[in-house]
Copies of this chain bind each other. A is one copy, B any other.
Amino acid sequence: MSIAIVSLGTEVVRGELVNTNSQWLAEAVSDDGFEVSELVSVADDHAQIIECLTRLAGRNDAIVCTGGLGPTTDDLTTEAVAAMLGEPLVLDEASLEHIRQRFRRAGRTMGPSNEKQARFPRGARILSNPEGTAPGFAVTIGQAEAFFMPGVPLEMRAMFEAHVRAALPRRGGESVVHQIRLNTFGQTESAVNDALAGIEAEHGVVLGYRAHFPEIQVKVLARGPDKAAAAARAARVADVVQQRLGPIVFSRGTTSLAGAVGELLEQRGLTLGVAESCTGGWVAQLLTENAGASAYFAGGVVSYANQVKHDVLGVPEELLAAHGAVSQPVAEAMARGAHRVLRAGVALAITGIAGPSGGSEEKPVGTVHIAVFDGTTLLHEKCLFPWDRKRVQLVSAFRGLSLVRQLISG
């Protein structure tokens, strides 16, 4: 059962926008157990559209297509499909009325160009658009069922859920897929790959790897005769994966590292305060992405200038003078200061050289000191990262959150 996903539009092939429709559709149909053969985008061009659809219809069971249903002269999808099928375009009165009403509700009158949005290839099944103007339609092209939807994401998703998702042809007897994603931080993609050698063959699953800097995400894809069987197998293998990888696994699904640390803090009734220099507020931003962060995040001090390390965090000037801002003593003093000033149960401090300038022979770019303090225990870590500024900042934030996780996990 093979599905091709098509995104029609010159603005897409010119790179004028990022195509989220194809990704959203691909994920949705993959989660439903279908196999996506390809994602393709072609321009608003009559001949190219016909050629593309013809090719795909010859090798897929279904084609899901977005774009080109608008009122302008650029919008050629419906015409091209009708020509391809050798069918005339027929006016659908119900669609015309729907369009007229949408304009009325917005206090406008329908224009002549909008009338074309109510014409469909004879024999097409019309798909109503609950969120917008243009209805979509479905036709059979050779052996494939083809569905045509608007390019506006909100409208497309609503139409997909209402009319297309359940209508995708199943041959029956297909197995159902269940996937579990494990998120890791701390090892390279190849080390993770090596650690999981043999699991696919032994357990009859597929493992997918995604490097999403600085995380490595491992996805376990299991098939089964039904959802429960597939889910049970996926869960079993996910546990095997987690056991092999150890503590570098910080969460499953869509929970971020900051979110996972937040859950641990909340479970223990602790609050976190951060003192950031080179990460410049990124740790705080990662923590506050999540709704409910106020349950475990007190706040932070972005002590970018040294005087702020001294004035707000109480780092002694002698320490700054003797060791420099990027040093173990200053990192530890920042952590103690944040713990006190923010009245946090746990404090995290990060000070380093993100680059590209600021490095020296003794302290090259990428040198980062991290300290965590909970009132009793003080942990410190010195890192040396070989990346550009933005990646040094992000991986330092991750290493800091990892050290917090380490401290509070005991």
Chain A residues with CB under 8 Å of chain B are 10-20, 22-30, 36-43, 48, 52, 70-74, 102, 105-108, 111-114, 131, 152, 154, 188-191, 193-194, 208-213, 219, 271, 274, 276, 278-285, 287-289, 291-294, 297-305, 307-308, 311-312, 341-343, 354-357, 384-386, 388-391, 393
The answer to whether B304 touches A280, judged by C-beta atoms less than 8 angstroms apart, is no
The oligomer's copy count stands at 2
Chain B residues with Cβ under 8 A from A385's Cβ? 106
Which one of B42, B213, B305, B391 contacts A37 once the chains associate, using CB atoms below 8 Å? B42
The answer to whether A189 touches B71, judged by C-beta atoms less than 8 angstroms apart, is yes
The answer to whether A38 touches B41, judged by C-beta atoms less than 8 angstroms apart, is yes
Chain B residues with Cβ under 8 A from A38's Cβ? 13, 40-43, 48, 52
Chain B residues with Cβ under 8 A from A106's Cβ? 385-386
Closest chain B residue to A209, Cβ basis = B72
Given contacts A13-B38, A291-B357, A388 and B111 within 8 Å (CB-CB): no
Closest chain B residue to A10, Cβ basis = B208
The answer to whether B208 touches A16, judged by C-beta atoms less than 8 angstroms apart, is yes
Least CB distance, A328 to chain B, in whole angstroms: 18
The answer to whether B19 touches A19, judged by C-beta atoms less than 8 angstroms apart, is yes
The answer to whether B42 touches A41, judged by C-beta atoms less than 8 angstroms apart, is no
Closest chain B residue to A177, Cβ basis = B14
Least CB distance, A318 to chain B, in whole angstroms: 20
The answer to whether A305 touches B311, judged by C-beta atoms less than 8 angstroms apart, is no
Which one of B30, B102, B276, B291 contacts A15 once the chains associate, using CB atoms below 8 Å? B30
Chain B residues with Cβ under 8 A from A37's Cβ? 13, 42-43, 48
The answer to whether A17 touches B23, judged by C-beta atoms less than 8 angstroms apart, is yes
The answer to whether B308 touches A304, judged by C-beta atoms less than 8 angstroms apart, is no
Given contacts A280-B287, A280-B288, A74 and B12 within 8 Å (CB-CB): no
Closest 9 CB pairs of A and B: A280-B288, A281-B284, A15-B26, A15-B27, A281-B281, A300-B302, A299-B308, A281-B285, A299-B304
Given contacts A72-B190, A189-B72, A39 and B13 within 8 Å (CB-CB): yes
Least CB distance, A280 to chain B, in whole angstroms: 3
Which one of B42, B211, B304 contacts A298 once the chains associate, using CB atoms below 8 Å? B304
The answer to whether A294 touches B298, judged by C-beta atoms less than 8 angstroms apart, is no
Given contacts A38-B52, A73-B193, A114-B190, A307 and B343 within 8 Å (CB-CB): yes
Q: How far is the CA of A270 from the CA of B42 in the complex (A)?
A: 47
Given contacts A302-B281, A386-B102, A288 and B73 within 8 Å (CB-CB): no
Q: Supply 14 A–B pairs (Cβ within 8 Å), ascending by A.
A: A12-B26, A13-B39, A15-B29, A16-B219, A17-B23, A19-B39, A73-B193, A106-B386, A107-B384, A108-B188, A281-B288, A299-B308, A307-B343, A311-B341
